[in-house]
Amino acid sequence: MARRSLWLHPAAKPLLFALCLLPLLYLVWAAASNQLGANPAEALIRGLGDWSLRALCLTLAVTPARQLFNLPALARFRRMLGLFTFFYASLHLLSYAWLDMGLVPADIAKDIAKRPFILMGFTAWLLLLPLAATSFNRAIKALGAKRWQTLHKAVYAVAVIGMLHFIWMRAGKQNFGEPLIYGLVLAVLMGWRLQRIRRGRG
């Protein structure tokens, strides 16, 4: 009971909110104090992208953790984690558009069309957009629970496309260590989901 009440404590959500903001605060501090290395713009863009992927992994892990450890209260954190995924992904996109492309729409469009990994990242963000826009009780009522659930299953497509974006981006630097780790995490989470579908548990 103590373990379950911990997740239901009124301070749990504010604490999670604060924890989710810490990476952004660190990146802002590091940028302001010249702690991002020789290429601060690239470090900021990649840092925001990394935290987008981490938040996505945490979001997808909520349901398996809730069911494996019999902690139904964990479900109350999934929406917040999902919105933080979109938040960091949006900052990632904005920092790329600003720091790399100078906020010039024509240059951004050309770059998206020219580089596949940029296209994958932009596609993942576009898929996240309707999920974030409908992550509220009014949207659930307007869409109906079944259609809302069907729409939000697109998060798994986001995971696959986002992972392709990450792999192709790191491949250019011959860095495959991190993509392998994230790929294994997402493979486990996706495998769990597929197993549930096969067993008819949705």
pTM above 0.75, yes or no: yes
- Between 194 and 50, the higher pLDDT residue: 50
Residue 184, CB-side half-sphere exposure with 13 Å CA sphere:
5
**pLDDT tens for each residue of 133-181:** 999 889 888 999 899 989 999 999 999 999 999 988 887 666 777 888 8
> Does the pLDDT value for residue 3 go beyond 60?
no
Question: What total of structural domains would you count in the chain?
Answer: 1
Whole-number Å distance between alpha carbons of 119 and 153: 21
C-beta of residue 128 within 8 angstroms of C-beta of residue 85: yes
- Containing domain of residue 75, as a range? 2-198
Confidence of residue 194 (pLDDT cuts 50, 70, 90): confident
Provide the pLDDT for residue 192: 87
- Between 183 and 127, the higher pLDDT residue: 127
Whole-number Å distance between alpha carbons of 88 and 50: 9
Provide the pLDDT for residue 5: 63
Section 7-12 average pLDDT: 79
**pLDDT tens for each residue of 32-64:** 999 998 899 999 999 999 999 999 999 999 999
- Between 198 and 173, the higher pLDDT residue: 198
Provide the pLDDT for residue 190: 87
Size of the chain, expressed as the number of residues it contains:
202
Section 172-194 average pLDDT: 83
Provide the pLDDT for residue 46: 94
> What is the tally of helices (H) and strands (E) in the chain?
10, 0
Which pair of tokens denotes residue 104? 């010039």
Q: What is the mean pLDDT of the chain?
A: 90
Provide the pLDDT for residue 72: 86
**pLDDT tens for each residue of 81-102:** 999 999 999 999 999 999 999 9
